[in-house]
Structure 1
Amino acid sequence: MTTHPALPPILRPGLMAALLLSGCNLAPNYQPPDTHLPTEFKTQGPWRTAKPGDDQPRGEWWRFFADARLGRFMQEAESASPTLEVARQRVVVAKAQARADKADLFPSATMRNSAQRDRTTGTMAFQFAGGRTRTTLLNTLDLQYEIDFWGRNLNLGRAGSARAEAADAGLQSARLSLLSELALNYYALRAQDSQIALLNRTVAVRQRTVDLARKRLAQGDIAQMDVAQAETDLAETQAEAIGLERDRAELEHAIALLLGKVPGEFSIPASPLTGSPPTLPRSVPSALLERRPDIAAAEREMAALNAEVGVARAAYFPSVTLGVRAGTQTSFYELMDNHSSLIWGLGPAAVEWPLLRGGRVKAGHEVSKARYEQAAAGYRQAVLTAMRETEDALSGLEILSRQSAAQDTTVASATKALELAHKRYESGLVAYYEVLDAQRTQLRAEREATRLKGELFLSTVMLVKALGGGW
């Protein structure tokens, strides 16, 4: 019957302590701060009712705009943007680091193979059997394990996992920022196209006005001043249209950068805005905590720092490491697998306790607590910022909607006034400059209406971003 060596008495108390105390956790009980959010936003709407089982893929919020070109740009940005690739690699690094942080929860194994030949002095009383030289062949497997009495390694692993989750939330935040910026630039460009199209139509109208004015000057119906004023209005409108083309080119270049393309090799056909921006599914303040990736990242960082408080507390207490070794040792190759060559050992059972460190352990604990409190304040600030951005977007949309409706009335009135000015001039009741003045008023009204329509699209995108993206 084979008997196994008994565990040395000196190691028995340590083993019992390991069984009884392992799993102790010195980290504070983690609870995210209470943010006291209201049940509703201050500004209500514009919302639409969210249908259960909505067929919109989560995260693809741009589908609400029903713009095929924008959808293609979004797909290109997700696959080719260097900004997103940087964020993706941060996630890879964080997840790998999290796995490394958990490694100390498990025993470490080291294989050692060595060969050594020694020659000793010939004047020693003790000599090796067989002469003054010998060869030592050593093959061992060493196992070491730190008993996690105080949860140090457990909390290191938890901190690493939380930071990996924070990095993933950071990726989603970068994605939301990139795609919302792309949508903002895209609709700003289309708003410019609307302004340019309006000015080009106005240029054509004013060119006809100049031609008519010159004809009537030749007939003696109007003065030279009226012709000069008509020519001035035409030149000013042409100059404004050219200036908008410069702004459009800059927006096009910005879109190319977001898509990871060379600006000089990228162009977008002119496409003035049509229709109205979409209404979005109803949301409530508490949903921001679930949807906003920046809030999620702040919360996960806070959880990581909470775990690190436990790591810092564990530094006050001793660490215990147990070791086991087994293998073979011989001077002869042919006896490497011989039972007589087997060796084993228990230990070392090492205990390390920081007694005098010049206040370093206490300072480290205070630093960890302060970092947690800093992260908690940052989390609360992130929630408040999200609330402000959402309220800004909601109120902006509501006010812009009313302003746009009022401006449409202004355009209708200005158009009617221009028609009346033409009739009064043709009846000889007013001078020609009144027609020109009515044209200028009507153009200003139309340009403002076009600008407000573009602002409505941009504010809708800002609301999507403030709400954290998709549904």
Structure 2
Amino acid sequence: MRSTKNSATLACLLTLPLAACTVGPDYVRPQAALSDEFKEIKGWKQAQPRDSGLPGKWWEIYGDPLLNSLAEQVAGANQSVMQAEAQYRQAQHLVQSAQSSLLPVATLTGTFNRFKAATGQNVAVAGVRNLFGQAVGIAWEPDLWGQVRRQLEANTDSAQASAATLHGLILSSQAALADNYFQLRTLDAQKALLEETIAAFAKTLEITKNRYAVGVAAKADVVQAETQLETVRAQAIDLGVQRAKLEHAIAVLIGKTPAELALAPAPLNSQPPGIPVNLPSELLERRPDIAAAERQIAAANAQIGVAKAAYYPTLNLGGTNGFQSGDPGNLFTMARRYWSLGPAGLALTLFDGGAKNAQYKQAIDAYDARVAAYRQTVLTGFQEVEDNLAALRILEQETQVQDKAVANAKQALALTNNQYQAGTVSYLNVMTAQTAALANQQTAVQLLGQRLSASVQLVKALGGGWNETLLPTADQAGGERKWTDYLILPLVE
């Protein structure tokens, strides 16, 4: 292995006049743990056909126009997204900065000196003298070992990672909005259920009072009925706190203050849609967080080349062309022109206390850390898909059982009411039946909300219709450069 490395170095030295070398390892995407299929996909109903992917505007599968309009606003108004976009632009400009390092630097210098020679010096002109000068200098450090090109590669990979992070933030913000929206609609459904229950309990209280007036019911029955009614009213009022917080969260997600958004109560009409689930291997191409982690590995790999190039000598070339005269009137004449090539310097560090070795090892360690982070991101992605597949499948089974419980509780309540009015059971039996019916109906509403939330999280876990083709290419990662960008002027649009 050592012989191979020495041969490669010798080849670089021999071909130096023709082309520069690029040291460091070339990037190879690391392997990650994969399985043939998702464990929890068995027994779960998914969209048909199976190979159909999620649409870019994935929230439209829920068929809620208001949700559609809210989700559309996230990408263009959410302030966290705006921050991520600015960070992506910053990463693009870092690419441009690295590109500039491949080119020479030209400087324009103008000088003026006024001086008098010391007494006793042999000078052509005695007394006070003026000296004017103007020069153009060029300095260039050839990228002999690819240090600049590796840095350019690292910055390009980092810009692509930043773009993936931006897409991931948009997806997570849209998913958070959809989740909050369905939680809010679940509270609206619970509020509507409680209002129906309040009306029913008020009617029961009126019947109980009438029975008490004619001596059929006891005073305790009236008190119990009033207590039960006011308890449900308190529950309905308490939902307002949670609803307000969700409404405020939705406002912030679309870049508005809570005072600017008011969502009127509406029924929970949505049902969990069929969601296409592809093979686990395709998850690597569809999740922006996995793509960002992979691009960060590529950037860390390029930094190894940057650190390795620091071992080799550097070459600095320079040149100057200018004019110098004691009279500004004849400054720009051929007689006053001078030029120089150089200084040209070749520098090699002989001793640095192990600093370069430490930096090289740090770059390798950083690469290893990125690989582990990437693999952990992949595992977390699989976990999130499996979690939500299991949640949707199990919650659907629970819903089927709960629907039967609701039907039975309603039937039991009707029978108990009839028995109470006939005087065959006490009011305590009515209260028990009413409480059971309300609890089962509330559980059914909450289950629907949980299923919708799990479906949103599954969409997010699957990448929300994103794929790696949406990442900027290496050329796009550097952004668009105009000719004005090359001017030494602070021109900012």
Q: TM-score, normalising length from structure 2?
A: 0.87
- Which residue number in structure 2 is paired with residue 365 of structure 1? 360
Equivalent residue in structure 2 for 1:82, among 79, 83, 87 = 79
Shift in alpha-carbon separation, 1:166–1:50, aligned structure 2, 3 A:
farther
Q: How does 1:42-441 map to 2 (within 5 A)?
A: 42-44=39-41, 45-49=44-48, 58=56, 60-124=57-121, 126-128=122-124, 130-441=125-436
Matched letter for residue 229 of structure 1: Q
Q: 1:87 Cα deviation (Å)?
A: 1.1
Give the CA RMSD over aligned residues: 2.2
Q: Does 1:465 align with 2:460?
A: yes
Deviations 1:378-403 (A, max 9, x none): 11111111111111111111111111
Structure 1 CA distance, aligned partners of 2:451 and 2:180?
14
Structure 2 CA distance, aligned partners of 1:275 and 1:16?
71
Q: 1:345 Cα deviation (Å)?
A: 1.6
Structure 2 SS opposite 1:358: coil
Structure 1 CA distance, aligned partners of 2:375 and 2:290?
9
- Which residue number in structure 1 is paired with residue 17 of structure 2? 19
Q: 1:40 Cα deviation (Å)?
A: 1.7
Give aligned-pair identity as a percent.
36
Structure 1 CA distance, aligned partners of 2:162 and 2:146?
24
Structure 1 CA distance, aligned partners of 2:135 and 2:13?
23
Deviations 1:186-216 (A, max 9, x none): 1111111111110011000000000011111
- Which residue number in structure 1 is paired with residue 472 of structure 2? none
8 Å CA contact 1:188–1:454 kept in 2: the answer is: yes
Deviations 1:416-451 (A, max 9, x none): 222222333344443343233222111111010000
Structure 1 SS opposite 2:18: helix
Deviations 1:155-213 (A, max 9, x none): 11111111111111111122122111111111111111111110011000000000011
Deviations 1:248-291 (A, max 9, x none): 11212222222332224432111131131222223221222112
Structure 2 CA distance, aligned partners of 1:255 and 1:92?
27
364-373 or 139-148, which moves further after superposition? Answer: 139-148
Matched letter for residue 358 of structure 2: A
Structure 1 CA distance, aligned partners of 2:270 and 2:337?
85
- Which residue number in structure 2 is paired with residue 6 of structure 1? none
Structure 2 CA distance, aligned partners of 1:79 and 1:316?
47
Structure 1 CA distance, aligned partners of 2:48 and 2:28?
33
Deviations 1:352-404 (A, max 9, x none): 11111011111111111111101111111111111111111111111111111
Structure 2 CA distance, aligned partners of 1:411 and 1:33?
52
Matched letter for residue 185 of structure 1: N
8 Å CA contact 1:46–1:397 kept in 2: the answer is: no
Structure 2 CA distance, aligned partners of 1:426 and 1:79?
61
Q: 1:301 Cα deviation (Å)?
A: 1.3
Shift in alpha-carbon separation, 1:296–1:236, aligned structure 2, 3 A:
same
Matched letter for residue 174 of structure 1: L
Matched letter for residue 75 of structure 2: E
Structure 2 SS opposite 1:20: coil
- Which residue number in structure 1 is paired with residue 3 of structure 2? none
8 Å CA contact 1:84–1:171 kept in 2: the answer is: yes
Structure 2 SS opposite 1:324: strand
223-232 or 192-201, which moves further after superposition? Answer: 223-232
Structure 2 CA distance, aligned partners of 1:347 and 1:275?
75
Matched letter for residue 351 of structure 1: L
8 Å CA contact 2:74–2:170 kept in 1: the answer is: no
8 Å CA contact 1:318–1:351 kept in 2: the answer is: yes
Q: 1:138 Cα deviation (Å)?
A: 2.2
Q: TM-score, normalising length from structure 1?
A: 0.91
Matched letter for residue 323 of structure 2: T
Shift in alpha-carbon separation, 1:349–1:16, aligned structure 2, 3 A:
farther
8 Å CA contact 1:102–1:156 kept in 2: the answer is: no
Q: 1:328 Cα deviation (Å)?
A: 2.4
Deviations 1:292-328 (A, max 9, x none): 1111111111111111111111111111111122232
Q: 1:469 Cα deviation (Å)?
A: 1.6
Structure 2 CA distance, aligned partners of 1:64 and 1:398?
19
Matched letter for residue 75 of structure 1: E
Structure 1 SS opposite 2:90: helix
